[in-house]
Copies of this chain bind each other. A is one copy, B any other.
């Protein structure tokens, strides 16, 4: 069932594995949430009350720029955590929207419940440390890549690092995520052949 993928994820991200008791604690603390395609998980202006572990589906995080068009900052699929971190940890209104790109299943938890759980489950604390670490490294790389590489190189890089994204998200969303226009991405793909 759903929780299995979360248990596996925790095992992957921490040395110490979790006990049956701990599994039960987790089952009690995280609750399932189902989102239909296009449904919001978080709306701009609301507090990101939950962090959600995706067990099935795909989501995106974006904001609206001055001109009013969507700028995608993150894409999420299975085994990703969806939340606006800033809003979630500081309980302040978010500037982002997060919504489902496909029918999606999540396991969600509040900040307070997560904090409680971390007191009881060391593996969870370690998981978060490792996640933060990898996250920081990945962010550094994505930034460097954005600054220094041409649109084409960044697209190639995404093809290598996250081929699933290209399958599952429409091309204009991929373009936005890469920080280029859909027209540029379209031309760049043509040129690659």
Contact = CB atoms under 8 A, between A and B. Distances in A.
A139 B143 contact: yes
A85, A89, A143 pick with most chain B CB within 10 angstroms: A143
A65 interface: yes
Contacts of A73: 140, 143-144
Interface of A: 63, 65, 71, 73, 85-86, 89, 129, 132-133, 135-137, 139-140, 142-144, 146-148, 179
A164 B146 CA distance: 25
B144 A86 contact: no
Copies in the complex: 2
A117 to B, nearest CB: 15
A136 B137 contact: no
A148 B65 contact: yes
A161 to B, nearest CB: 15
A140 B65 contact: no
Contacts of A132: 129, 132-133, 136
A129 B139 CA distance: 17
Nearest to A147: B179
A89 B133 contact: yes
Contacts of A86: 137, 140
